[in-house]
Structure 1
Amino acid sequence: MASFTPLDRLEREHHRQQFIETQFGGIDEIDITAITGDASFRHYFRIQTAKADFILMDVPPEKGSVCEFVHLNEVFAEGGLTVPKVLAFDDKLGFVLLEDLGVIHLADLIESEHREAHYLTLLSWLPKIAKLPVSRWMKEYDSAFIVQEMEIFKSWLLEKWLGYALDDEKAGRWQHLTESLTQCMLAQPQVVMHRDFHSRNVMFHQGEGRLIDYQDAVVGPVCYDAVSLLKDCYVKLPEDEFESLKKASYQQLSSHELLEGIAYEQYVDYFNLTGLQRHLKAAGIFARLNLRDGKPGYLPNILPTLDYIVEAAGAYAEYQWLATWLQSEIIPMVQDKLAESL
């Protein structure tokens, strides 16, 4: 779990106040409120003044750099994506001042009658993201990166959270799974991807969607962002709607010549297996957020994420062992662990 001494907190608060005074020195009344819920080392604050509200991103320099965010904000904006405006930043202190997009996410509109229209609009963003120019701030989503993500599930969810060690047979199967999913993801056309294109990273402000949390954009498999959006760890779409939107994602990517002639059946396989890898990683991250970062609020998302894995793995004879293992051993252990935390 990440920890900070009182001195660390006081020093960070001093730097934050210093940056705010530089931007709003002539304003008497400023209200600063912490915004919770971000699954990263970044912290956010809402700054309210008499005339307007703003968002402050706080990234301690020892934890990371704001340069990726600022640069990629420009890349995404120039590529036709609607993103929050960067109003000021200090890369040495680690602060970015942004326009305030309010509090409404796509996740808050799931029950609205316009839900499908919202999703279709977001799917039209896929080619725009994929065709963004590759930036030096974008890592390559290569085999080492994919394997590292797979290990998050084994290390954080199985070993550290559940206390479960793979026996020799399962370790061999896990190795084969890692290799085959890596091959599947690398076999696809490689494009720019947001990497976390889901319901909590799309804000709705002044009647239109705005994309956030794009600082971890990478170059990787073409269907990854469609998987992130339609097989969301926080929202499960009705089956008929999901199938319709999955076809729409294929049509969007194909019509913009991003699939290199891939037939829909092959796209569905890529989609399913990319989702399998993504959801293994995500389930591991939810456990890591609890253990390392002291954020237990993400634990309830583990079971829905494991359900996605069971569903995808069960559709392929090669991965049926994974579905069976999760259902018979791992999911009951997760249920017991969650019950202990209530």
Structure 2
Amino acid sequence: MNYKLELENLFKKWSNQKPVTFTQITGSGSNRKYFRIISADKTAIGVFNENKKENKAFIYLTKHFSKNKLNVPEIYSSRLSKGIYLLEDLGDTTLYSFLITKRKKREFPLEVIPFYKKAVEELAKFQIKARVNLDFSICYPRPAFDKQSIMWDLNYFKYYFAKAFDINFDEQLLEDDFKTLTKFLLSADSNYFMYRDFNSRNIMIKDSELYFIDYQGGRKGALQYDIASLLFDSKADIPENLQKELLEHYLNYISKLIKINYKEFLKYYDGFVLIRLLQMLGAYGYRGLFEGKSHFIQSIPYAIKSLEQILKKFKTQIKIPELFSILEQLIKLDELKLFKVNKSNHNKLTVRINSFSYRGKIPVDPTGNGGGYVFDCRAIPNPGKIEKFKNLNGKNKEVKELLDNMPEAKMFLNNTIKIVSQSIENYIAKGWTDLMINFGCTGGQHRSVYFAEKLAEYLSSKYDVTIEVTHTQLNKNKFIA
């Protein structure tokens, strides 16, 4: 079946317009395929998924949540016999991408905290209000987060993470610990809707409102799991004090909806943090180590950091010595120590800024990624034509002052900053690691050097990125005015 053609036909029927653009959106942890389809004045997200049961669950849950006035994407049209449907386009801004663009260095930005507080309030509504009259039998792949679900997650971790790093353990003792942990988790109150993958990448921001996606794996379960998913969302790297603040805000909001025993909730909370972290590590192993998806590999050190945090508290609450031994081995593992040492730069964007002369060649991207920008500075008046500046360059004070006061140069720099900033914010949000920017002029000496230095200065002040500046012609020490 040509699912792209089927989606195009579905879009035409829904919109009465022919698509102008049909662009695939990169997925992360699923086999579903997403496309942004745009016509003259309409847009939709087209989805293709061969899994009929998962599609049925998603459509049912979306309609159910909409009835409960929860912000989920509208379903425009569907043809489930073909595995396709059209959704409302909520844009590209996730809570995670918003956090990354606002974050400077390692500090958690204050302007993002209200969005997180709103997110935990909405989570409570999904869990408590939306459970009423919800037919859990339609949920996929299980109607509840039951023994089978937990064992799947634990084995996912064992086979795709622990064994991937050659950790020593006794199979039977570990199996016994898995049963102990499962029994403990299942003794918690589980009569709620469990979103299952409630994290910052599944929360969209549109017109300052939060919208929620990717809940097709939701089922009946305990309250603790979803709030743990959000607060221990690996690369969001929420500070421990803020985790506590958001958990308290969540519990206070929950108490407005139902009577809740705080002590009983907290008794199980760390256990659900642990099972969520193990599930995440299993996913990072499978999607990252086996499938080679960089985003998942880059998330490993954050999850290990969270694992250290939770082990200190949870080790005194339950006896699962073989599992704890595995986790302690992982924390001490040299390979993961290397992840930790390099984690500040592992997913850090490197911006390579070059100046060059058009009498030579445009610099080539050494990473092989291609793309980036080439800005032609020759439209700006050339300081090299002025006798006293001939032997100077764009790093010299006199040349900088001249161009600083030139209206054409100011406009050129401002426009460049706007264009480059848009790409940098998108690159950071997507976890991309390399961007190349070239400035060219006649001699590669004055204008191109000036703009390269100015852009580097601006980006260094605004973004937590690595800047590498190379002045091709200056390095050759041969100037052409």
CA contact (8 A) 2:167 2:326 kept: no
Q: Which has the higher contact order (CA 8 A, sep 6+)?
A: 1
Say whether 1:45 aligns with 2:35: yes
Say whether 1:234 aligns with 2:223: no
Which residues in structure 2 correspond to 1:13-28 (within 5 Å)? 13-24=4-15, 26-28=16-18
| Counterparts in 2 of 1:179 and 1:282: CA distance versus 1, 3 Å | same
Counterpart code for 2:24: A
What is the CA distance between 1:274 and its match in structure 2? 0.4
For residues 76 and 184 of structure 2, the distance between their equivalents in structure 1, rounded to whole angstroms, comes to: 41
What is the CA distance between 1:289 and its match in structure 2? 1.4
Which structure has the larger Rg?
A: 2
What is the CA distance between 1:224 and its match in structure 2? 1.1
Q: Secondary structure at the match of 1:100?
A: coil
CA contact (8 A) 2:10 2:77 kept: no
Counterpart of 1:325 (choices 325, 329, 334) is 329
What is the CA distance between 1:275 and its match in structure 2? 0.7
Counterpart code for 2:80: D
Q: Which residue of 2 aligns with 1:129?
A: 126
| Counterparts in 2 of 1:313 and 1:174: CA distance versus 1, 3 Å | farther
Q: Which residue of 2 aligns with 1:106?
A: 95
Which residues in structure 2 correspond to 1:74-153 (within 5 Å)? 74-110=63-99, 111=102, 112-131=109-128, 132=130, 133=132, 134-135=134-135, 136-138=137-139, 139-153=143-157
For residues 259 and 144 of structure 2, the distance between their equivalents in structure 1, rounded to whole angstroms, comes to: 18
| Counterparts in 2 of 1:245 and 1:165: CA distance versus 1, 3 Å | closer
For residues 106 and 280 of structure 1, the distance between their equivalents in structure 2, rounded to whole angstroms, comes to: 23
For residues 298 and 259 of structure 2, the distance between their equivalents in structure 1, rounded to whole angstroms, comes to: 36
CA contact (8 A) 1:105 1:202 kept: yes
Q: Which residue of 2 aligns with 1:167?
A: 169
CA contact (8 A) 1:189 1:258 kept: no
CA contact (8 A) 2:169 2:326 kept: no
Counterpart code for 1:300: Q
Q: Secondary structure at the match of 2:110?
A: coil
Question: Number of residue pairs matched?
Answer: 321
Q: Which residue of 1 aligns with 2:184?
A: 184
For residues 216 and 19 of structure 2, the distance between their equivalents in structure 1, rounded to whole angstroms, comes to: 32
| Counterparts in 2 of 1:274 and 1:197: CA distance versus 1, 3 Å | same
CA contact (8 A) 2:145 2:220 kept: yes
| Counterparts in 2 of 1:333 and 1:291: CA distance versus 1, 3 Å | closer
Q: Secondary structure at the match of 2:138?
A: coil
Q: Which residue of 2 aligns with 1:222?
A: 223
What is the CA distance between 1:221 and its match in structure 2? 1.3
Q: Secondary structure at the match of 2:6?
A: helix
For residues 337 and 26 of structure 2, the distance between their equivalents in structure 1, rounded to whole angstroms, comes to: 26
Structure 2: give runs of 5+ residues left out of the alignment.
Answer: 103-108, 348-481
What is the CA distance between 1:126 and its match in structure 2? 2.8
What TM-score results when the alignment is normalised by the length of structure 2?
0.62
What is the CA distance between 1:172 and its match in structure 2? 4.6
Q: Which residue of 2 aligns with 1:4?
A: none
CA contact (8 A) 2:161 2:286 kept: yes
CA contact (8 A) 1:65 1:91 kept: no
Counterpart code for 1:227: A
What is the CA distance between 1:223 and its match in structure 2? 1.2
Say whether 1:267 aligns with 2:253: no
| Counterparts in 2 of 1:125 and 1:137: CA distance versus 1, 3 Å | same
State the Cα deviation string for residues 231-271 of structure 1 (Å, max 9, x = none): 11231112222211111222222332253x342xx433422
Aligned Cα root-mean-square deviation (Å): 2.6
For residues 149 and 173 of structure 1, the distance between their equivalents in structure 2, rounded to whole angstroms, comes to: 17
Q: Which residue of 2 aligns with 1:197?
A: 198
What is the CA distance between 1:17 and its match in structure 2? 3.6
Q: Secondary structure at the match of 1:276?
A: helix
